[in-house]
Amino acid sequence: MCGIVGYISNSGTLLNNNLEESFALMDHRGPDSSGTWSSECNRVNFGHVRLAIVELSELGHQPMIVNGNAITFNGEVYNYVELREELIASGAVFKSSSDTEVILQGYNIFGTQFFEKLNGAYAFAIFDSQKDEIIFCRDRAGEKPLFYSPNESGFYFSSELRGLMNLSSLPKKLEHKALYNYFVHGYVDGENSWFEGVASLKPGHFMTVKLGSELSYETQCYWKVPNLTNPSDDLDYLKNKLSSLISSSISLQLRCDVPASILLSGGVDSSMLTAFASQHTKRVKTFTVKFPGHPKFDESKSARLIADHYSTDHTEIEGVDISTDLFMKIAKNLDTPINDSSLLPTFLVNEAVSHHCKVALGGDGGDELFGGYKHYHRMQKMLQIKNRSLGLLKLPARVVRKNLSLNSKYRNWLKALESDLSNQMVNIRSFYDERHLQLLIPSLSDSYFDADVWGSFESEKAQSVLELASKSDFNHYLRDSILVKSDRCSMLNSIEARAPLLDYRIIDFAFSEVPDNYKINNGMKKFILKEVSKDILPSTFDFDRKLGFNLPLGDMIRTGAWKDMFGDILNSDSSLIDKKFSMSLFDKHLSGEVHTDRLFGLVLFLVWAEENQVQNV
């Protein structure tokens, strides 16, 4: 993985100093080398910082030029070997063995249709000198970020918000909708970003910017999540196909010219990946985090079982190393905050990996693709209740909910009962309802609390609750929270994160062929994945245990250094939030109520906002 940055200047003015500063802000994404390229008259300018994974020589240096066209590319194309052979057969002559050149040569021959052939995690910009236009493209799942900002002086883009804001010199004015989405959902959703005037290219899309006296741009979709069009009731067929796809994906993603590893949490997904990886490489390196004294959060025993069974080169990292200093380091260096406390152990394990490897494979995507979340089954039950009540529960649910405390575990579910099916996902995962969010951030407009905003997750085409919920999670929660966490925690440690389960062939298979009853079967989540895993994991493996990289943060912030840090930050003067309400929330948590996630997200935001000197809404 790498970092890309660049701009189209309306005046032809060079911004070399700004470009170098943007490099420095993103040097963690590419510590191995950096480079720039400018077109004639200096109108188009590309920058790149490189983390060398494939083609380690200077031949892989970027920005790269082939036949007058230029590319700056962040990510990996895993099937580049096969595509390279196809392109050679079509007449391409290669100077390197890099996947970067494969993209550019492929575009030169096939145009944007070549993007449909790419299997990987990527975001790139190509300057087409013949058409005088720039094409931006982002991978299907959204593993790699790409921000852009069109304004009067030109068009700016970057892998990270910090690089873009520095290059464009835009004011860091908070976007109201982003603030709302963060405190309700825990992340900024969709094409939005934290700042006014900055957008994010949607996954599975490419955007063409046409140069001229005035810039114009158009976005097109080259891939979208498929519908359940070819469901199969043949379990053996589904198992065999999924097993083959996972094995193929891991084989492709283990391709690199540097050592690779696996983040082994002890759950089904990462354990299964370790098993398959052991079929393709000898003594794979595995890493996990353990929490001695906190058995509820410690999966190191399960991870060690897998490591021993497959004779991996295993490393256990002590969770006690998760300190307030680590929190502050992460909060100050994130370009976009997300409310997920597993940022801490995820960062820690990537930091440990960085001393041994440049590449780490993880199990992201398994829950969204194969029915791994508890709320999927609960939503199915909720629909049955709503159907039987003929909607009569809607009004009493609203009345009861408005009298519940923020700490009540029933609050979100009652809100969901009030909603139509397409909006239930918003309400089930929300951290604040409208009443409490208005108390926290009084400056937010009342318009953010109407039905349209609560329904900001667009309706997905689906035949069932499970299909709708999993599509919604894939298109929002996975993209805007899970994958942001994975990318930032890995890149801040100069690690390339890879997700074998997000191979687009597996995504297509999961959504188009696997029916609901093979995702959740008699209450068993991820049924089809577990059926595949049973054929490859040891018989003593506990298929019901699943925590991921979690930590006992609720208890941690009630005592010692964590309590002092949270109290000091929440009690500091801020024009962004209401101090009285936030301190009340903190005091209630200290008294036994559970507000762990709300407090984590709030403190993370306040540190990030101060570090980045954001302007008030």
Q: Which residues are annotated as a binding site for L-glutamine?
A: 99
Q: Are the C-beta atoms of residues 410 and 433 closer than 8 Å to each other? A: no
Residue 289 host element (H or E): strand 285-290
For 276, how many CA atoms within 13 A lie in the half-sphere containing its CB? 29
Residue owning tokens 């985090």: 289
Of 2, 256, 357, 489, the catalytic one is 2
- Could you list the residues known to form a binding site, using ranges: 99, 263, 289
Closest residue by Cα to residue 500 from 486, 484, 521 = 486
- Identify the DSSP state of 476: I
- C-alpha span between 419 and 414 (Å, rounded): 9
- Could you list the residues known to form a binding site for ATP, using ranges: 263, 289
Q: Any bridge partners for residue 120, and if so which?
A: 77
Q: What is the DSSP string of 260-282?
A: EEEE--SSHHHHHHHHHHHHHSS
Q: Retrieve residue 594's tokens.
A: 């559970």
Q: Retrieve residue 83's tokens.
A: 């595509």
Sign of CA dihedral 477, 478, 482, 486: negative
- Identify the DSSP state of 480: I
Q: At what angle do helices 465-472 and 374-389 cross, to 10 degrees?
A: 130
Q: Is 2 annotated as catalytic?
A: yes
- Burial of residue 329 (CB within 10 Å: 0-12, 13-18, 19+) is middle
Q: Are the C-beta atoms of residues 109 and 91 closer than 8 Å to each other? A: yes
For 560, how many CA atoms within 13 A lie in the half-sphere containing its CB? 7
Pairing of strands 313-318, 285-290: parallel
The residues assigned a catalytic role are: 2
